[in-house]
Amino acid sequence: MNYLRTAILLAGLTALFMVVGFAIGGRGGMMIAFVVAAGMNLFSYWNADKLVLRMYGAREVDERSAPDLVLMVRDLAARADLPMPKVYIIDNPQPNAFATGRNPQNAAVAATTGLLHMLNRDEVAGVMAHELAHVKHHDTLTMTITATIAGAISMLANFGLFFGGSNRENNGSPFGAIGTILMVFLAPLAAMVVQMAISRSREYVADRTGAEICGQPLALASALAKIAGGAHQVPNYEAEANPATAHMFIINPLSGARMDNLFSTHPATENRIAALQELARTMGGAMRPAPNRQTAHPSGPWGGAPGRRGPWG
């Protein structure tokens, strides 16, 4: 079912891409946009995860460079009955995290240095479990490809804003200058609505599944509160430059919008915390400790070379 939704979503975003091409260059522009969109869909399926990780300067770590973090993710993945994903750390002071990959066999989880500094072990486990929940539900394919295509629509629309309207007679666009300007604003807005709508509903599900994986709903709730507060105070410049990727993070890395409506990339943090608190009441004594509580490394709680500052080495 997730693959069907992904196919429908890609078809819709491709249609938006073609509409922008038509507004800019008429039928010729629409055909070029279709060819570009088809190639982009194929490329994104295989490479969108690498593009996003590279976009944020993510660095892959292993049991030698960040032993406790990697062992924690390994334990959580086993609890979730998932293959071990690749683990990345992003040198960014804003506390945040995301998952990516076209399927569980090719998944990756990434955490910022700000998150590893701010959160305790149980909270980090909750965040990593949330990201593994996205992997388990096959959300990562949809979220990553949507980020790539939506970003491309915005770029094409910006191109059309500067070059489309003045060439109506030559390019065959039926909309004229005013129509083209409206189109290049509406198309990226429509793409944004699509990606925001799919993200919001899935965050609640990933919160619940992640809490069940780590066994500590309140630790995840505490992590969400800390991350939301940090995201309001610490800018994420890479995310600001690539806003189409905002829905991939556990908390909106941009404005931290808290209104539970169609135009926020995430549900209100307060609503997510309340749902986790209710889950904790229903789980009661079934809660488990975070994984690898006794695996402290002499160089620090998250590994790294001795004497180096920070949990990531």
Query: What values do phi and psi take at 59, rounded to 5?
Result: -115, 125
Q: Decide: 119 and 223 in contact? Cβ < 8 Å.
A: yes
Q: What angle do the packed helices 176-214 and 139-163 form, to 10 degrees? A: 160
| Alpha helices (runs of H) in 56-120, residue ranges in sequence order | 67-79, 113-118
Query: Cβ contacts of residue 175 below 8 Å, gap of 6+?
Result: 23, 168, 182, 183
Name which of 145, 167, 135 is nearest 37 in CA terms: 145
What are 87's strand-pairing partners?
61, 109
Active-site annotation, residues: 131
Query: Cβ contacts of residue 117 below 8 Å, gap of 6+?
Result: 95, 310, 311
| Alpha helices (runs of H) in 137-292, residue ranges in sequence order | 139-163, 168-171, 176-214, 217-233, 237-241, 269-283
Helix (H, G, I), strand (E, B) or coil at 209: helix
CA distance 33 to 196: 23
